[in-house]
Amino acid sequence: MRKQLIRILLVFFTALALLIAFTLNKVVQKEEQVFFVYLILLVIIIVSMLRLFMWARDKVMIPMDKLKESIKAVSEGDFNHILDLDGADEISEVCQDFEKLRIHLKENIEDREKVDRENRELIGNISHDLKTPITAIKGYAEGILDGVVTTPEEQKKYLMTIHNKAVDMTNLIDELTYYTKIDTNRIPYRFDKISPVEFFYDCVEDVGLDLESRGFIFTHSVDVDSDVVVIADVVQLAKVVNNIINNAVKYMDKTPGKIDISLRDDRDFVKFEITDNGMGIEAADIPKIFDRFFRADASRNTGTGGSGIGLSIVKKIIEDHGGKIWANSKVGVGSTFSFILRKYQEAELSDE
């Protein structure tokens, strides 16, 4: 490229020099003047050549070399090679477009790697979560078959455990099936205009009695106008509230356990908050609790069971509603789960 350019420049300026010399020969009369004019001409041509060469080097050769290098890197699978070129000329624009393409490809590859990694984790987790009850079922069944347990009471106890483990497995498989469907958008939502206040009181009625009968102190409060409307699927939204309350019950380590749910006005949004005085979550774990299959070490040790899917479903449902969910927590003090949904506003018809 460089050699070709130099050759073109040489040919161009030689032709130009010859043309000017030929014209001068005709115009300039005195010998000494001719030499002087040739000298100036030579200087002008050399300076112009140098400037033209520098321009071509900066604007064409260097960007092309960088582009070539980048194309080579990308074609060899190195998507981290940055092609850094500003400028508004055509070659810079081509380079900038190529850089966008590289970033796009890099993101696609990273996404694919993330999905692959998650799938591997998923298979590992499913195998582990299914293996645990199966091992127990096998052990208890062998106990009965080998005649280790002889009395009808003991046999009944063993059978009850086998039954409970089988129920755990069914629940896990149901949750997994639901998760896979919701994750791949195969759960059709039925969005309606609903009153968050009505929905809130339905939830209170649903969970209140049950919680109180289990010894919890259950409180609730509302601070939203009854005519406020949100667009939501009530069945899925009820799943969200139930999941969060089930966690509050499951990870409760105090007597009496306290659970409070509230509905607040938050400018263009309504905010649901569920607070418990349970074991709390380590600060480092809070960003991970909405990840599929994440369970804090403290919860694993409680023997409460669970596969860490609940909050990932909750998050997906809230995000599919265009909302946001987050948690605040302090170990030993308790946790608050908050989610917001945008208020629905009828488009106002203008008089124009």
Ligand X SMILES: Nc1ncnc2c1ncn2[C@@H]1O[C@H](COP(=O)(O)OP(=O)(O)OP(=O)(O)O)[C@@H](O)[C@H]1O
Q: Name the DSSP letter for residue 193.
A: E
Which of ligand X, Mg ion, none does residue 274 bind (CB under 5 to 8 Å by kind)?
none
Q: How far is the CB of 293 from Mg ion (least distance, A)?
A: 11
Amino acid identity of 292?
Answer: R
317 near ligand X, rule: CB under 6 A: no
Find the farthest-apart pair of alpha carbons in the chain and give their distance in angstroms, rounded. 135
Residues 279 and 251: their CA atoms lie apart, in Å, by 6
From candidates 199, 299, 323, 343, binder to ligand X by CB under 6 A? 299
Stretch that binds ligand X, among 21-29, 65-73, 79-87, 246-254 (CB under 6 A): 246-254
Edge-to-edge strands of the sheet including 324-330? Answer: 217-223, 258-266, 269-276, 334-342, 324-330
Residues 167 and 137: their CA atoms lie apart, in Å, by 11
Q: In Å, what is the CA distance from 122 to each residue of 31, 128, 310?
A: 93, 10, 14
Residues 246 and 252: their CA atoms lie apart, in Å, by 10
Cβ distance to Mg ion smaller for residue 74 or 274: 274
Taking each helix axis as running N to C, give the angle between helix 310-320 and helix 234-250, from 0 to 180 degrees, rounded to the nearest 10: 150
**Footprint on residues 247-266 left by Mg ion (CB under 5 A):** 247
Q: Which residues contact 145 (CB under 8 A, 6 or more apart)?
A: none
Cβ distance to ligand X smaller for residue 133 or 310: 310
Number of H helices, E strands in the chain: 9, 7
From candidates 278, 316, 325, 339, binder to ligand X by CB under 6 A? 278
Are 299 and 281 within 8 A, CB to CB? no
Q: How far is the CB of 144 from Mg ion (least distance, A)?
A: 32
From candidates 275, 310, 318, 339, binder to ligand X by CB under 6 A? 310
Q: How far is the CB of 179 from ligand X (least distance, A)?
A: 9
133 near ligand X, rule: CB under 6 A: no
Q: Which residues contact 322 (CB under 8 A, 6 or more apart)?
A: 341, 342
211 near ligand X, rule: CB under 6 A: no
From candidates 63, 280, 310, 334, binder to Mg ion by CB under 5 A? 310
- Residues in contact with Mg ion, shown as a per-residue x/- string from 50 to 89 under the rule CB under 5 A: ----------------------------------------
289 near ligand X, rule: CB under 6 A: yes
Nearest residue relative to Mg ion (C-beta): 310
299 near Mg ion, rule: CB under 5 A: no
Q: In Å, what is the CA distance from 8 to each residue of 12, 165, 343?
A: 6, 84, 69
Cβ distance to Mg ion smaller for residue 196 or 310: 310
Q: How far is the CB of 115 from ligand X (least distance, A)?
A: 20
**Footprint on residues 18-37 left by ligand X (CB under 6 A):** none
How many residues sit in the footprint of ligand X (CB under 6 A)?
Answer: 23
Binding site for ligand X (CB under 6 A): 175, 247-248, 250-251, 276, 278-281, 289, 294-296, 299, 306-312, 335
